[in-house]
Amino acid sequence: MTSNRLALAAFLVALAAVPAFVHSGYLLHVMILIFLNVMLATSMWLLGITQLISFGQAGFVFIGAMTSAMLTKDLGISFWVALPVAGVMSALIAAPVGRLSLRVRGVYFFLVTLAFGEVVRGIFAYFQVPFGGWYGVRDIPPPSPHWLFTPLDKVPFYYLGLVLVVLTCWVIWRISRSWFGEVLWGIRESELLASSVGIDVTGYKLVAFIISAFVAGLAGSFYANYVGYISPLIFDFTYSVNILIFVVVGGFGSLAGPISGAVVLTIIPEVFRATGKYQMLIFGLILVFSMLAMPDGITGALHRFQLRRARRAT
Amino acid sequence: MSLLRIAGLTCRFGGLLAVNDVTLTVEPRAIHGLIGPNGAGKTTTFNLISGVLKPTAGRVVFDGADITGVPMHRLVKRGLVRTFQHSQLFPAFTVFRNVLLALHSHTGFSTLGGFFGSIAERRKRAELAHEAQRILEFVGLADRADHLAGDLPHGFQRLLQVAVGLAPKPRLLLLDEPVAGLNHGDVDRMMELVRSLRDKQGVTVVLVEHNMKAVMGVCDRVSVLQFGKLIAEGSAQEVTQNPTVIEAYLGVYDDAS
């Protein structure tokens, strides 16, 4: 076992121990939000390896959330069934959407995915039955068993979120290190060369897009049954942009990028919550300065710092 | 039977006829040169053969099968691989990783294959690593396997490009200006490599080139393009003595003016 693995294990144990020391519902809520955002950021990152950026991620989160909400609330199906179904639903819709939007390149791909997110929102907002229209869906039941998951106790949700985020990160890490991931990194380096050695570039991008949507759907399902309320006002364009910002600020270079980005950028607005109306102003300033100071993101800046120190040491 | 046959190949970009009714055949185990002044349509011809562009008219037949407009990544399995004029590499990868990924078509993985770091995948990877090492030794890059491709000197980048093109084990390799920007020593080394591709690996080579000395030294047959039209074809010797070719390259002295 390397020291890295030991450190990771210690970190996970520490995370598991948090509810034993932290009794503030608010702080646990922030932690749960971090888990959600890390899931979303890593899902975006997998697609981002191939230099694709989707502005429609909120659409897949919303589809997952709506699937889960309707299954658990209207049909009375258990959350534990609804969770994977929500992921699969997002993935199923991602297949044709990805197939179509990958026909265009560069900025047009952004626009098509952006439009997709808005279409999803529009459809859910337009149909009051069965989607609840602009009012959304409220009173989505928490997961079973009900004696464990009560709306007032955050601890079970904390552990649910922790398991989901650790699983997501592990799976995405394994994928990024597999041959499939190697191909994605190759596509990032040169699409032309990749296809000249027999790689079906569009096919690989499509699979990455579908996996990314699947994870977004899972996160949406968790969101719906944790918060208990979803609406088209939540999963709008800025929701997608936020996910993107997590990855950009964190850095695309490794999985640590989206994770650190999501953690830092979930905490910062909370720290400045007390400043009231200046919260977003400060957040924005921090974003601008972070992009100026760390163009390769947090992980990129750390990497460069380590390199410089190593050079000075020799 | 010829390995590659193109018939009546035409490509029009708006008002420009980039390639105009080109017909030529490439025999197996030949080194076939495609030369011509700048803008003659050489690279466009490559793009048409390799499926990067779809021709306006005409057919490309490879090994008896019509491959007109078949996308590049599907041609690799049939045994046709091309390289690019401007060094296309995976620059942030090591030299070794460049070649390893270029072996992709040997993995037999579908898009979903090799997904999760399974035991089968790891075994495959070890096998391919061996193969990648062998290819690097063949082109003479073995001692630089750990360097980043983007940091290599230009000459070695061109060698790596050939190594990457060789990795899928093509029967026909299209080399787009393999010696562009190389100095004399590197040109000789590259031409030596091209010759050994044919002699030791049995690969048929078509190369686009500007460097006349390189073309003359290595090609069995040369086709000359000008303004998208094939103006001459023959052995290197014949082509250099062809008055039309001399005119295309040097122009004619116009007495009247």
Q: For residues A246 and A268, what is the distance between their CA atoms, to the nearest angstrom?
A: 12
**Does residue B167 lie within any of the structural domains?**
yes
Return the pLDDT at A273: 84
pLDDT score at B115: 65
Nearest C-alpha in A relative to B168: A197
Mutate to test the interface with B, among A167, A196, A207 (most CBs of B within 10 A): A196
Give the confidence band of B254 by pLDDT, cuts at 50, 70, 90. Answer: low
Average the pLDDT over each of A13-22, A158-167, A278-287 and give the range with the smallest value. Answer: A278-287
Q: What is the mean pLDDT of residues B109-122?
A: 68
> Helix B184-201 and helix B154-166: axis angle, to 10°?
10
Question: How far off is chain A from B66, nearest CA to CA, in Å?
Answer: 18
The yes-or-no verdict on residue A3 having pLDDT over 50 is yes
Task: Residue A95: list chain B partners with CB under 8 A.
Answer: none
Residues of B in contact with A180 (CB under 8 A): 109, 111-115
Domain count, chain B: 1
Chosen for mutation from B104, B135, B158 (greatest number of chain A CBs closer than 10 Å) is: B104
Per the domain annotation, does B128 fall within a domain? yes
Q: By a Cβ cutoff of 8 Å, what residues of chain B touch chain A?
A: 50, 71-74, 76-77, 81-84, 88-93, 97, 100-105, 107, 109, 111-117, 121, 124-125, 164-165, 167-168
With an 8 Å Cβ cutoff, are B114 and A178 in contact? yes
CB atoms B116 and A174 under 8 Å: yes
Closest residue of A to B92, CA-based? A189
| pTM of the complete model | 0.91
**Roughly what angle, to the nearest 10 degrees, separates helices A297-313 and A237-250?**
10
**What is the mean predicted confidence (pLDDT) over B25-49?**
90
* Structural domain boundaries, residue A143: 28-237
Per-residue pLDDT of A277-309, as tens digits, reads 888 888 888 888 888 888 888 888 888 888 888
pLDDT in tens, B153-206: 988 999 999 999 999 999 999 999 888 888 888 888 899 999 999 998 899 999
Strands (E), chain A: none
pLDDT at B113: 60
CB contact under 8 A, A196 and B76: yes
pLDDT at B71 over 70: yes
- The reply to whether residue A196 touches residue B81, judged by beta carbons under 8 angstroms, is yes
Average pLDDT over residues B51-58: 91
| Euclidean distance between CA atoms A38 and A256, whole angstroms | 10
C-alpha B154/C-alpha B149 separation (Å) is: 10
Chain B hits for A186, CB-CB cut-off 8 Å, are 90, 93, 101
- pLDDT tens, A120-129? 999 999 998 8
For the ranges A145-154, B3-12, B85-94, which has the lowest average pLDDT? A145-154
Helices (H) and strands (E) in chain A, counts: 14, 0
Q: How many structural domains are present in chain A?
A: 1
Quote the pLDDT of residue B257.
47
User: Is residue A235's pLDDT more than 80?
Assistant: yes
Cβ distance B50 to A180 less than 8 Å, yes or no, reads: no
Instruction: Point out the least confidently predicted range of A108-117, A186-195, B203-212.
Output: B203-212
pLDDT for position B114 = 61
Q: Chain B partners of A176 at a C-beta cutoff of 8 Å?
A: none
A contact residues 70-129, partner B, Cβ 8 Å cutoff: none
Residue-level pLDDT at B90: 94
Amino acid at B77: K
Ordered DSSP codes for B161-219: HHHHHHTT--SEEEEESTTTT--HHHHHHHHHHHHHHHHHH--EEEEE-S-HHHHHHH-
- How close A119 gets to chain B, by Cα (Å)? 29
A177 within some domain: yes
Q: Do A200 and B72 touch (CB under 8 A)?
A: no
Q: Are B106 and B169 in contact (CB under 8 A)?
A: yes
In a domain, B255, yes or no: no
Nearest CA in chain B to A253: B92
Residue A269 included in any domain: no
Name chain B contacts of A178, Cβ cutoff 8 Å.
114-117, 121
Of B90, B102, B116, the CB nearest to A178: B116
As for the ipTM of the complex, it is 0.89
The arithmetic mean of pLDDT across residues B241-250, rounded, is 82
- A180 and B89 within 8 Å at the Cβ level: the answer is no
Closest partner residue to A189 (CB to CB) among B77, B92, B167 is: B92
Chain B residues inside the 8 Å CB shell of A189: 89-93
Whether B135 is in a domain gets the answer yes
B37 or A208, which is more confident: A208
Which range (A122-126, A128-132, A210-214) has the least confidence? A128-132
What is the per-residue pLDDT for A278?
A: 85
pLDDT value of position B204: 94
Neighbours of B71 (CB within 10 A): 15
User: Residue B212 pLDDT more than 60?
Assistant: yes
> In chain B, what is the straight-line distance between the N-terminal and C-terminal CA atoms, in Å?
50
Quickly state the pLDDT bin for A27 (edges 50, 70, 90). Answer: very high
Q: Is the pLDDT of residue A141 over 70?
A: yes
Q: pLDDT confidence of B149, banded at 50, 70, 90?
A: very high
**Mean predicted lDDT score pLDDT of chain B:** 88
B257 in any annotated domain: no
Per-residue pLDDT at B85 exceeds 60:
yes
Inter-chain touch B112–A207, beta carbons under 8 Å: yes
A183 contact residues in B (CB cutoff 8 A): 101, 104
**Which residues in chain A are contacts of B73 at CB distance < 8 A?**
195-196, 198-201
- Please give the torsion angle defined by the CA atoms of residues A113, A115, A118 and A119, in that order, rounded to the nearest 10 degrees: -100
C-alpha A133/C-alpha B227 separation (Å) is 62
Please determine, for residue B236, whether its predicted confidence score (pLDDT) is greater than 60: yes
Contact state of A198 with B91 under an 8 Å Cβ cutoff? no
State whether A179 and B107 contact (CB < 8 Å): yes
Contacts of A179 in chain B (CB under 8 A): 107, 109, 113-115, 121, 124-125
A75 domain residue, yes or no? yes
Put residue A76 in one of left, alpha, beta given phi > 0 → left and psi -120 to 50 → alpha. left
| Residue B256 maps to a domain | no
The torsion defined by the Cα of A261, A266, A271 and A277, in degrees rounded to 10, comes to 110
In-domain check, residue B100: yes
Query: What distance in Å separates the CA atoms of residue B215 and residue B33, rounded to the nearest whole number?
Result: 6
Asked whether residue A1 is assigned to any structural domain, the reply reads no
Tokens of residue A229, six digits: 């309320």
Grade residue A151 by pLDDT with cuts at 50, 70 and 90.
confident
- Does the pLDDT value for residue B255 go beyond 70? no
Instruction: Give the CATH number, domain containing residue B110.
Output: 3.40.50.300
Q: B32 is in which domain, residue-wise? A: 4-250
